[in-house]
Chains A and B, each alone.
Chain A
Amino acid sequence: MSPHQPSLFFRLWSTVEFKLILAWLSVVVVTVLLDPGHTYWNNPGNAAELIIRNSVLLGFFALGSAVIIISGGIDLSSGSVIAMSATVFGSLLIALDPTGFREGHIATWAVIVAFLGTLLSGAMVGTLHAWLITCVGLPPFIATLATLVGLRSFSRGVTLAVTNNKSQIDFPDLVLRDSLKDVTSVSVVFLVLAFALWFLMSRTVIGRHLHAMGGNEQAARLSGIRTDRLKWLAYVIGSVSASMVGIVYFADTGSAKPDILARGYELNAIAASVIGGCSLQGGIGTIPGTILGCLFLRTVIDSVNKIVGSGADVYEGMIVGIVVVMAVTFSQRTGLAKAQKFFATPIGWACIPVLGLLTGISFLLFFRDKPWFSSLHAIAFGAIVACILVVRGIMEHRVKRA
């Protein structure tokens, strides 16, 4: 033991996971205090179930995304893979058991074959990505951008073909649907997947190699690591985890509409990985961090829903954006010892009115239906935020001078 060993608390404190747990707890406390309906207090079971359901659904493909990001790549296609796998699952059910599909009771063997077939289709998409990246030589961003656009359109075509020109496949079997969307069993499957991936990434040779490849791909190749095969594995994990959750989404929403199902979700997955401590440069990140990233992100969204009231799903994107910026800013700050200047630069000053305007308008959007609201409140709020930022800027400027 070296004499400079930092204390246990300091080592805990310096992990992303610990900070995320603290941040998550504070979000829960704030929601309990501010929620006008007191949902967390009055009905904790329901609130918890909703958050867990949303976190787990996001978690499936966020974990896949995290594995790819840690290995030095990026996957933009997971939302489209979800839509595709829902379509594939529905189409296979129609093809395997057409009478059961019409009558609303599908044979068990057909469900199992369709399930395996869907996972296989995910593995095939992952293989396609790996081929485009390693053999064709495309950057991962371009390869998965192509499938992001392509697979959704492909799924719409398939849907038209199998449903006699309808734009969606309705979920046929109510009993099956209830069991597939059951939050307990989905959570158990998720925990098994998460444990397997955690074990793979932090306890096995393959996981170490994936980290190494993400950190320095050339050095990894020169260390005798088969980087092409590892990339295949990473992209297959990414696509298979997305196709698993595609089946759940199919059951959850009751129909596979490939034009809108899971549209834009790939960015939520990347956001959750980044909040959980993955570096887009590759090589850095953990599975537990990513899970906590999902939980934190979904809890913040839920909290805003509770505080603002109905119709707040419109603002989900705004919340994700803000949380990503905040999370990455704070995790970077611990890395940089020197005081960062946010506003004491020309661009910083120019951004203060932008931020003031944004917060003022957001205030208006969130609270315009409340009985106490008047537009003066929104203007005052925006102005106060801008003033605080100006004060902060002046303080930074002083520090610079000193």
Chain B
Amino acid sequence: MTEPTPVISIRGIGKQFNAVRALNNVSFDVLPGELHAVMGENGAGKSTLMKILSGVYSEYDGELLLRGNPVRFQSTRDAEDAGVSIIHQELNLVEQLTVAANIFLGREIKRAVGILNQAAMDKKSADLLAQLESNISPRALVSSLRVGDQQLVEIAKAISLEAEILIMDEPTSALTESEVARLYGVIARLRKRGVTILYISHKMDEVFRLADRITVLRDGQFVQTVDRAEATPRSIAHLMVGRDLEPARRRENSSDSNVVLETKALSLVWPGHPRGWRLKDVSFQLKRGEILGFAGLMGAGRTELLECLFGASHVQPQGRLLVHGRKVQFSHPAEAMKAGIAMVTEDRKRLGLFSQMTVRENMTLCSLMSCSTAGVLSRLSELTATNKQIQALAIKSSGPEAPITSLSGGNQQKCIIGRCMLTKPSILLLDDPTRGVDIGAKAELYQLMEQLAAEGVAIVVTSSELPELLTVSDRILVLCEGVITGEFTREEATEQRIMEAATQQPHFT
């Protein structure tokens, strides 16, 4: 029997960004109809390769064969015409337009003489979203949606193209468990239709559940393509990092009895929404050296809660907030920072990064007062502080003066964590800190959190991945529709029990 012609042949592809070599002589084949997973650490070059395949980058070395014919896409439109479409890791939606308008952007359904057929687009969008078992309204503005819902819109858009080759770049990084299950259903349906899928993910269980074959990249180089049947998570992890990963250790609970943060009946109203509140009567205590996890589905109020604690909510929360035993009311993040609170935001591109600045400028922004005398900056102390964090967090970059955009997503996230650490916080709020970060870097982030907790920092962390919360948290609180519906110690917590609490309808009398 002969091998089928590969639907995509990657031949010696390389790509250089300024001084950083993102890809170097990568070659492998993708067979028709297979689900081919691409794995690798942050900065391994996965996203870069996918951007070349989908026409985002048109300048590269090497050759690309599509069904045996050499192609060179000049734009994503070229790629789409050839039947290749992509779901990007970073969302690419027009926030000011509706869901339907985004799904059909550039391919609008028209009546005669070019008048938009709004009804047909709404209808089709609703059908596509129904396939994903999502109840997002096609007429909702994308800017009004949470990140998870926006990701579903991206997926719906990619499906609507009816491409033969679909590239998914970490499609589940912002989805909750139930949304992920629905996505698996969609993937199964697509495969039945014969669609070839290139799937990038950091989640081992996901890849082993879905993939036929797995290709591993490391430092921009091709390492190996293996059949799933012949691989184990351990062997893949070995290929990815070039060494064995230590299994996650359960750390000692380092919390003591000092309460550093306490909320009493914290509520946040939601004007114009039938529910009326985003948060209702949230009360909890956070102790020194404790890692407190907040679980909950998308829209449960995790981000809103952290924003309240950080003084970043647009409406003033009601109820009481005590920091180090003193009653506080933050009207601006600057006040929260002065009280020793730091926050890493959920949406890195929109709320965290200063893309026109260097690594140094991004890193020192919150602690400029300690890098200056009488308001005049000292470049030397900025560089010292930056280099210290680059070493402590093992950030991969060409130095403190490298543009922040030349770093991979995980390294950008480390820079933002470094920015928070430079403020020497006693309370650290982490909103889904490992979103879009690979396992090697995740393990480092967990270690970092444990180390900080051991030093006495109190940490509040949210995550869209339950196993992650179970690994790092000393205690887990579960939010559902803005209400705390469960509290578990590390010993009591299981995925099952947390999911039950997260889906339990809160009752009021």
Question: Which residues from B are CB-within-8-Å of A222?
Answer: 310, 312, 333, 343, 345, 351-352
Does A223 contact B59, Cβ atoms closer than 8 Å? Answer: no
Query: In whole angstroms, what is the CA distance A2 to B366 when docked?
Result: 27
Of B139-147, B212-220, B372-380, which binds chain A? B372-380
Query: In whole angstroms, what is the CA distance A149 to B79 when docked?
Result: 49
Does B351 contact A219, Cβ atoms closer than 8 Å? Answer: yes
Query: In whole angstroms, what is the CA distance A2 to B401 when docked?
Result: 11
* CB of B15, distance to nearest CB on chain A (Å): 12
Query: In whole angstroms, what is the CA distance A283 to B398 when docked?
Result: 23
The verdict on B355 contacting chain A, using a C-beta distance below 8 Å, is: yes
The verdict on A221 contacting chain B, using a C-beta distance below 8 Å, is: yes
Question: Which residues from A are CB-within-8-Å of B377?
Answer: 203-205, 208
Does A218 contact B351, Cβ atoms closer than 8 Å? Answer: yes
Question: Which residues from A are CB-within-8-Å of B310?
Answer: 222
Question: Which residues from A are CB-within-8-Å of B58?
Answer: 338
Question: Which residues from A are CB-within-8-Å of B398?
Answer: 2, 4
The verdict on B337 contacting chain A, using a C-beta distance below 8 Å, is: yes
Q: Which residue of B lies closest to A218 (CB)?
A: B351
Contact partner of A224 (CB less than 8 A), chosen from B59, B333, B352, is: B333
Number of interface residues of B (CB under 8 A): 33
Does A216 contact B355, Cβ atoms closer than 8 Å? Answer: yes
Question: Which residues from A are CB-within-8-Å of B194?
Answer: none
Query: In whole angstroms, what is the CA distance A23 to B369 when docked?
Result: 39
* CB of B20, distance to nearest CB on chain A (Å): 9
Does A205 contact B351, Cβ atoms closer than 8 Å? Answer: no
The verdict on A306 contacting chain B, using a C-beta distance below 8 Å, is: no
The verdict on A226 contacting chain B, using a C-beta distance below 8 Å, is: yes
Does A216 contact B354, Cβ atoms closer than 8 Å? Answer: yes
Would A223 and B19 be within 8 Å (CB), given that A208-B365, A338-B58 are in contact? no
Does B19 contact A4, Cβ atoms closer than 8 Å? Answer: yes
Query: In whole angstroms, what is the CA distance A283 to B354 when docked?
Result: 9
The verdict on B180 contacting chain A, using a C-beta distance below 8 Å, is: no
Contact partner of B350 (CB less than 8 A), chosen from A218, A224, A226, is: A218
Number of interface residues of A (CB under 8 A): 26
Does B355 contact A204, Cβ atoms closer than 8 Å? Answer: no
The verdict on B161 contacting chain A, using a C-beta distance below 8 Å, is: no
Contact partner of B352 (CB less than 8 A), chosen from A219, A279, A284, is: A219
Does A283 contact B356, Cβ atoms closer than 8 Å? Answer: yes
Query: In whole angstroms, what is the CA distance A51 to B398 when docked?
Result: 44
Would A215 and B355 be within 8 Å (CB), given that A203-B377, A224-B366 are in contact? yes
- B-facing mask of A220-247, CB < 8 A → 1, else 0? 1111111000000000000000000000
The verdict on A211 contacting chain B, using a C-beta distance below 8 Å, is: yes
The verdict on A8 contacting chain B, using a C-beta distance below 8 Å, is: no
The verdict on A136 contacting chain B, using a C-beta distance below 8 Å, is: no
The verdict on A212 contacting chain B, using a C-beta distance below 8 Å, is: yes
Does B372 contact A223, Cβ atoms closer than 8 Å? Answer: no
Does A206 contact B356, Cβ atoms closer than 8 Å? Answer: no
The verdict on A347 contacting chain B, using a C-beta distance below 8 Å, is: no
The verdict on B239 contacting chain A, using a C-beta distance below 8 Å, is: no
- A-facing mask of B374-398, CB < 8 A → 1, else 0? 0111000000000000000000001
Q: Which residue of B lies closest to A283 (CB)?
A: B356
Question: Which residues from A are CB-within-8-Å of B354?
Answer: 212, 215-216, 219-220, 283
Query: In whole angstroms, what is the CA distance A223 to B419 when docked?
Result: 9
Contact partner of A225 (CB less than 8 A), chosen from B19, B334, B352, B361, is: B334
The verdict on B357 contacting chain A, using a C-beta distance below 8 Å, is: yes
Query: In whole angstroms, what is the CA distance A178 to B357 when docked?
Result: 46
The verdict on B210 contacting chain A, using a C-beta distance below 8 Å, is: no
Question: Which residues from A are CB-within-8-Å of B226?
Answer: none
Q: Besides A205-B377, A212-B357, A338-B59, 17 other CB < 8 A contacts?
A: A2-B399, A204-B376, A205-B369, A209-B368, A215-B354, A215-B357, A219-B345, A219-B350, A219-B351, A221-B333, A222-B312, A222-B351, A222-B352, A223-B366, A224-B332, A224-B336, A283-B356
Report, nearest first, the 7 A-B pairs whose CB atoms are least far apart.
A4-B19, A224-B334, A224-B337, A205-B368, A283-B356, A215-B354, A215-B356
Query: Can you identify 7 A-B contacts, CB atoms within 8 angstroms?
Result: A211-B356, A219-B351, A222-B352, A223-B333, A224-B332, A224-B337, A225-B334
Binding site for A on B (CB under 8 A): 18-19, 58-59, 310, 312, 332-334, 336-337, 343, 345, 350-357, 361, 365-366, 368-369, 372, 375-377, 398-399, 419
Binding site for B on A (CB under 8 A): 2, 4, 203-206, 208-209, 211-212, 215-216, 218-226, 279, 283-284, 337-338
